[in-house]
Homo-oligomer: A and B are copies of this chain.
Amino acid sequence: MSIDSVLESLAIELPSWAFGNSGTRFKVFGTAGTARTVQEKIADAATVHRLTGLAPTVALHIPWDAVPDYRELGRFAEGLGVRLGTVNSNTFQDDDYKFGSLTHIDKRIRQKAIDHHLTCLEIMESTGSRDLKIWLADGTNYPGQGDIRARQDRLAESLASIYQHVGADKRLVLEYKFFEPAMYMTDVPDWGTAYSQVSALGERAVVCLDTGHHAPGTNIEFIVAQLLRLGKLGSFDFNSRFYADDDLIVGAADPFQLFRIMFEVLRGRGLDPATGVALMLDQCHNIEDKIPGQIRSVLNVQEMTARVALVDLGALAAAQESGDVLAANAVFMDAFYTDVRPRLAAWRAERGLPEDPMRAYAGSGQQERLAAERTGGAASWGA
C-alpha cells in the first residue's frame, strides 16, 4: 500500500469514557473542563475529529452512556460530524457481579448478564453500530475460589446465548485481559482463550486485542499477525503501558512497539475494509487533559502508520531471503527513524485540517472555555 492509501484508510474510534475522569484505586483526580454527560463526551470526540480528520466514530459504554433515546443520540453525534460506533457492555459494577457475570455460578446472575448484552444488541439497532464488545471482569482472587473449568464452560454457554441474537451484519467481539480486577484467575486471560471461545461461536465472533492486556514481555505483534492469519482479529483497544494495564496514551511508552504492531496490521491487510479490524483507543487520561490527550493519541497512531507505510518491502524481503539479519533489521529501522511529521502536516493542509492539531487546540481557547462552563461534577467511570 502507498502511504497515501494507507492514510486514507485509517480511522480511529474514540471511547466516550476517555473524556471522563479516571484514576487509580487510590484516587480519581478531577481535571477542569471534563465532560459531565455522554453528550459532552461526544462533543469532545467531535472536536478531536474536527482537528485531525482521524476519528469519525465514538464508542459507547453501557450503562455509563445510557440514554432514553439512542437514535436521538446518534443524530446528535452526526450533527457534530461523528457517528456512534462500538457498544461496550459493562457487567462489572453491579453488586450482583461481585463473583462474576457470564461465568457466575448462579444461573440467575448469568441470565442477568446475558440480558444486559441483549439490551446492548438492541441499542446497536438504534445506533447503527456493528460491534458488541465484551470485556469481562470475571475471575477469582484465590485458588479454590472458583472451578476454573466449570466457569469456562459456563462462559461458553453464556456467549452462545448472546451470539444467537447477533445479527447478520453485527459482530460479537471478545476481549481478553491478563489480570485485573481479578487477582488470581481471569476467565478470559489470553488470546488463546478468546480465540477458542469465539471459534466455537461462529464467524461473526472475533477477538479484541487490547495492547495493555498481556503478560510482561509478550510479543504483541506476533498475536496481531496470528489473529489476522486465523481471520479472528476483530478490533484493537490501543493504549500503552510500562507495567500492567496502565492505559497510557498509545505509543507513549514504546513507540517502536506500536510501529511493529502497525506493521503486522498492514502486512495482514488489517486496514482493508474486508478484514474489518476496528482501531479503537482505550485509555485513561488520569492526570493530563482529556481532549488533547486523545488528539495526541490519534496522531501517534497516524504517525506510526505512516512510518510503517515507508518500509521498503522489496528490500526487506530480499534481506530476509538472504539471511542478512542486520540488513533486514536496517530496512525496518530506516522507516521507523524517518521523520514523517512534515509529510503529515502537508497531508492535513491539503484537507483543510490544521497542520499541527495539538497547537491548534491549545490556541483555540476551548480548554479554558470548557473549564469555565463545565462545573458541578464531571463524569467518572470509577467505582
Contacts and interface: CB of A to CB of B under 8 A. Distances in A.
Given A243-B217, A243-B244, A196 B328 contact: no
B27 A332 contact: no
Nearest to A24: B181
Contacts of A92: 26-27
Contacts of A316: 144
B287 A325 contact: yes
A228 B95 contact: no
Which of A268, A316, A382: most chain B Cβ within 10 A?
A382
Nearest to A259: B143
A195 interface: yes
A328 B184 CA distance: 14
A199 to B, nearest CB: 9
Contacts of A242: 179, 183-184, 217, 219
Nearest to A215: B215
Contacts of A321: 105
Counted per complex, copies of this chain come to 4
A141 B180 contact: no
Interface in A315-365: 316-317, 319-321, 323, 325-326, 328-333, 336-339, 341, 358
A42 B125 CA distance: 54
| Residue among A105, A242, A248, A339 facing the most chain B CB atoms (10 A cut-off) | A242
A329 B252 contact: yes
Given A137-B26, A195-B192, A149 B215 contact: no
A26 B223 CA distance: 26
A226 interface: yes
A223 B323 CA distance: 35
Interface stretch (A2-10, A162-170, A289-297): A289-297
Nearest to A183: B246
Q: Indicate the size class of the contact surface on chain A.
A: 35 or more
Interface in A4-48: 22-30
Contact of A149 (B216, B255, B267): B267
A325 B222 contact: no
A185 interface: yes
Contacts of A358: 326, 330
16 contacts: A24-B25, A26-B137, A30-B95, A105-B321, A140-B325, A145-B325, A149-B264, A149-B268, A179-B217, A179-B243, A184-B253, A192-B193, A192-B196, A244-B244, A254-B254, A255-B256
Interface of A: 22-30, 92-93, 95, 98-99, 105, 137, 140-149, 152-153, 178-181, 183-186, 189-193, 195-196, 214-219, 221-223, 225-226, 228-230, 241-244, 246, 248-249, 252-257, 260, 264, 267-268, 286-289, 292-293, 296, 303, 316-317, 319-321, 323, 325-326, 328-333, 336-339, 341, 358, 382-383
